[in-house]
Amino acid sequence: MELKELKNLFPDWEEGLYEEVLEAANFHTATAGTTLLKPGQNIRSSMLVVSGTIKLYREDATDGEFFMYYLEPGEACAVTLVCDFHQETSQVLAKAVTDIAYLAIPLSKVDEWLRKYKSWHYFVIRTYRSRYEELLQTIHSIAFKKMDERLEQYLLRQVGRWGTHIKLTHQEIAADLNTSREVISRLLKKMEHDGLILLHRQSIEWVGRKG
């Protein structure tokens, strides 16, 4: 992990901070599909994503899991950043969507830098704030939108993230939107009928709105 690369990923930090991070952090890699964080697990370090994409779920014993958000390069996991304030074991599941690389920061350092580096402090707050906004957004969708709108929004985000060729099964989409596979199949079929998408096996192609 090079200094230059780090500065690129996190452009808003102060000078001394980069060096400290490089020194204190452990560089890790993992292959697609790996579970990075299990619910109930004690969190000892925080994650800064270097490359790849991570998916975060909220786990619940009774009702299953709930998709929270993606983590991308240059972002940090808000949950692990502040989870030690009460020694809590956050009920979160993190999975690598692609092959990934990340820096693991010991929580003691996270804490130490808060006082030492203003930019780190802001980074933490900003991370939290943006996640908060995202959650509000999600709530808004669930509370006010119907499934067809949510699905379209979901697909559009996938397109923005990985291009017009969406490699997801109906099952996976249904899981992310907390509904059943049949409902998704139904709505996708309708969207195909409306010329928004093309349905292939294991994948969907976004062709957008005509006119």
User: Which of a second copy, DNA, none does 185 bind, CB closer than 5 to 8 A by kind?
Assistant: DNA
The answer to whether 153 contacts DNA (rule: CB under 7 A) is: no
Alpha-carbon distance of 50 to 74, in angstroms, equals: 6
Q: Convert 177-209 to b/e letters by CB count within 10 Å (16 or more is b).
A: beeeeebbeebbeebeeeebbeeeeeebebeee
- Cβ at position 66, least distance to DNA in Å: 13
Compute and round to an integer the Cα radius of gyration of the chain. Answer: 19
The answer to whether 180 contacts DNA (rule: CB under 7 A) is: yes
Backbone angles phi, psi at 116, to 5 degrees: -85, -40
Q: Which residues bind a second copy (CB under 8 A)?
A: 58, 60, 63-64, 66, 68, 78, 82, 85, 114-115, 118, 121-122, 124-126, 128-129, 131-132, 135-136, 138-140, 142-145, 178
Among 147, 155, 191, 211, binds DNA (CB under 7 A): 147
The answer to whether 194 contacts DNA (rule: CB under 7 A) is: no
Q: Which residues contact 170 (CB under 8 A, 6 or more apart)?
A: 181, 184, 185, 188
User: What are the residues binding DNA (CB under 7 A)?
Assistant: 146-148, 169-171, 178-183, 185-186, 188-189, 199, 201-203
